[in-house]
């Protein structure tokens, strides 16, 4: 039964050009689902916005009625912040128009767009912004949490390319935030997550990428994990910014280039992307093939948009997910021993541990230049617990937490806010580091009553 009165529903619907979805509607259960199947929340209403005025109306309604408010971009956030119980969900999924200005290398994209939407629009012109690794992720959530991807060593965090944002504030005002307009808000949006308003449009500076790049996978047997990881560590220390090599430890999926005997066995995967001339890249990556005896490799020139979707089959919606994450400035031997131990006891065939190599351009801005503070991070680790059966919840969560604890002594102290789960509210200050107090001041100015609280929350000062 809906906890909104008929008069409230009428008032909500009266100001909306898009669609208001209520618990009694046939589409409600589908509309409230998010990527992580562990999230099961029942809002009072989902407002599927058609344009910015819909967002303004929904924000004003939630504030005036004293209701909880959640904002859904791609619905991909591990903690489930895109939905809430008994409140209003602002769903931006219909707002995903992209405009590419090729002469000035600028992009304008709406807040409901996914990485696939953005890449498709920009790659027609051989342009891109550093965005994550799963094409169904929302641009908004990724960007507001700082964002990184395969291009980050060359072009920085996602926010390092952000030039402006159209924001609906808690007061229902529509503001443009940039280096010259509401610069305090613009500073906070670049890493401060969903704490300061609903971003309905982003303005990015674009970079020349592709449309074809050298990319692929080199897979080593788990027996060689220690020496492969040590050589990987030395290699990444010397690698140019144009080359990103990440490492993934998991049970081998049934990839066609792997022998059948390897399927389901623990492996070490080197995943790489080179943004420069592919022929130069082939010479550069030759040592990666010689860390040991690979059980298979699939590396070649391919469209950048295809590589951006390469991991989608392993990250489909509807599975149960639980993550733990640390940042590292270096990969010490003790850390490598810990990761090998815990990959040796994966609780589900879908679980994995990966190290995303950032560094390069991500380390160059000052830690206080924007809300994202962790410019010392050269590797972001995600312990990716993933399984299908609720009966496996306890075992998979325990495995992730145990390895997280074992790897903590080697971590640099910070954490990437987009990788925090719902039960990690105590790590919010670690996510923002030295910038937390300034963020709390900006929060007090733009959201003093903490309307935007269904996130990794920054309390108003």
Q: Which long-range contacts (CB under 8 A, 24 or more apart) does 396-400 make?
A: 396/320, 396/322, 396/347, 396/348, 396/351, 397/322, 398/347, 399/342, 399/345, 399/346, 399/347, 399/351, 400/322, 400/323, 400/324, 400/351
Domains 98-209+435-446 and 212-419 share a fold: no
The whole-chain average pLDDT of the chain stands at 97
The answer to whether the peptide bond before residue 162 is cis (omega within 30 degrees of 0) is no
Q: Provide the whole-model pTM.
A: 0.96
Q: For residues 168 and 54, what is the distance between their CA atoms, to the nearest angstrom?
A: 10
Please compute the mean of the pLDDT values over residues 381-401 and round it to a whole number: 97
Give the per-residue pLDDT at 326. 96
User: Is residue 203 scored above 90 in pLDDT?
Assistant: yes
Please compute the mean of the pLDDT values over residues 357-367 and round it to a whole number: 97
Residue 383 pLDDT class (50, 70, 90 cuts): very high
3 state DSSP class of 47:
strand
Which residues are registered as beta bridge partners of 353? 249, 383
Residue 3 pLDDT class (50, 70, 90 cuts): confident
User: Is residue 141 scored above 70 in pLDDT?
Assistant: yes
> Token pair 């623990």 is at which residue?
266
Residue 2 pLDDT class (50, 70, 90 cuts): low
- Any idea where the domains of the chain sit in the sequence? 6-91, 98-209+435-446, 212-419
Which residues are registered as beta bridge partners of 296? 219
- Matching CATH number, 98-209+435-446, of 3.40.50.720, 3.10.50.40, 3.30.465.10, 3.40.50.2000: 3.30.465.10
Residue 122 pLDDT class (50, 70, 90 cuts): very high
**Would you identify the CATH topology of the domain 6-91?**
3.30.43
Domain 212-419 has CATH 3.40.462.20: yes
């Amino acid at each position: 039964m809906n906890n909104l009165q008929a008069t409230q529903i009428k008032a909500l619907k009266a100001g909306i050009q898009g669609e208001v979805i209520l618990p009694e509607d046939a589409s409600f259960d589908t509309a409230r689902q998010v990527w992580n199947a562990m999230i099961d929340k029942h809002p009072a209403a989902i407002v599927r916005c058609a344009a910015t005025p819909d967002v303004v109306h929904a924000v004003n309604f939630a504030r005036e009625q004293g209701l909880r408010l959640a904002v859904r971009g791609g619905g991909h956030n591990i903690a489930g912040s895109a939905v809430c119980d008994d409140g209003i969900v602002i769903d931006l999924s219909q707002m995903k128009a992209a405009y590419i200005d090729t002469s000035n290398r600028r992009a304008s994209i709406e807040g409901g767009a996914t990485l696939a939407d953005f890449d498709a629009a920009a790659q027609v012109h051989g342009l891109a912004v550093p965005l994550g690794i799963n094409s169904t992720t929302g641009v908004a959530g990724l960007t507001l949490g700082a964002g990184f991807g395969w291009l980050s060593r060359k072009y920085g965090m996602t926010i390092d390319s952000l030039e402006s944002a159209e924001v609906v504030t808690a007061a229902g005002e529509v503001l443009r935030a940039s280096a010259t307009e509401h610069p305090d808000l613009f500073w906070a949006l670049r890493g401060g997550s969903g704490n300061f308003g609903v971003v309905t449009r982003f303005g990015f500076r674009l970079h020349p990428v592709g449309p074809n790049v050298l990319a692929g996978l080199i897979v080593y047997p788990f027996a060689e994990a220690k020496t492969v990881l040590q050589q990987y560590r030395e290699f990444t220390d010397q690698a140019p910014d144009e080359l990103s090599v990440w490492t993934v430890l998991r049970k081998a999926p049934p990839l066609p280039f792997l022998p059948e005997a390897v399927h389901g066995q623990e492996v070490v995967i080197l995943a790489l992307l080179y943004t420069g001339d592919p022929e130069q890249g082939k010479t550069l990556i030759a040592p990666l093939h010689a860390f040991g005896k690979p059980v298979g490799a699939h590396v070649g020139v391919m469209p950048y948009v295809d590589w951006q979707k390469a991991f989608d089959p392993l990250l489909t919606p509807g599975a149960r997910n639980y993550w733990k994450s640390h940042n590292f400035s270096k990969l010490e031997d003790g850390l490598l021993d810990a990761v090998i131990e815990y990959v040796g006891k994966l609780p589900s065939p879908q679980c994995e541990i990966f190290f995303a190599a950032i560094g390069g351009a991500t380390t160059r801005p000052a830690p206080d230049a924007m809300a994202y503070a962790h410019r010392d991070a050269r590797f972001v680790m995600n312990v990716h617990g993933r399984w299908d059966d609720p009966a496996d919840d306890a075992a998979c969560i325990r495995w992730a937490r145990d390895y997280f604890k074992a790897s903590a002594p080697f971590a640099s102290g910070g954490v990437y806010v987009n990788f925090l789960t719902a039960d990690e509210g105590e790590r919010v200050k670690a996510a923002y580091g030295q910038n937390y107090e300034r963020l709390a001041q900006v929060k007090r100015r733009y959201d003093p009553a903490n309307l935007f609280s269904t996130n990794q929350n920054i309390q108003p000062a």
